[in-house]
Structure 1
Amino acid sequence: MNKPASIDAYIAGFPAETQELLQQIRESVQKAAPDAEETISYNMPTFRLNGYLIHFAAHKNHIGMYPAPKGNDAFQEAIAPYKGSKSTVQFAYNKPLPLALITDLIQFRIAETGGKLLQNP
Structure 2
Amino acid sequence: MTTPIDHDAYIAAAPDPLRPLLGQVRAQLARALPDAEEIIAYNMPGFGFGKSVIAGYAAFSKQCGLYVSHGAIAAHADDIAAEGLKPTKMGVTFSPGKPISDALIAKLALAARRDLGL
What TM-score comes out, normalization by structure 1 length?
A: 0.83
For 1:39, what is the secondary structure of its paired residue?
strand
**Identity of aligned pairs, percent?**
37
Retained in 2: the 8 A contact 1:49–1:110? no
Task: Classify 1:15/1:86 alpha carbon distance in 2 versus 1 (closer, same or farther; 3 Å).
Answer: closer
Distance 2:6 2:55 in 1: 15
- Helix, strand or coil for the counterpart of 2:106? helix
The aligned counterpart of 1:66 is 67
Q: Name 2:90's counterpart in structure 1.
A: 87
Aligned-residue CA RMSD in angstroms? 1.7
| Aligned residue-pair number | 113
The answer on 1:108 being equivalent to 2:115 is no
SS in 2 for 1:9: helix
Gap regions ≥5 residues in structure 1: 116-121
The structure having more radius of gyration, on CA atoms, is 1
Separation in 2, partners of 1:96, 1:2: 25
Q: 8 Å contact 1:40–1:46 — kept in the other structure? A: yes
If the length of structure 2 is used for normalisation, what is the TM-score? Answer: 0.84
Q: Distance in 1 between matches of 2:40 and 2:80?
A: 25
TM-fit CA distance, 1:15 = 4.1
Give 1 or 2: higher helix fraction: 2
Other-structure match for 1:57: 58
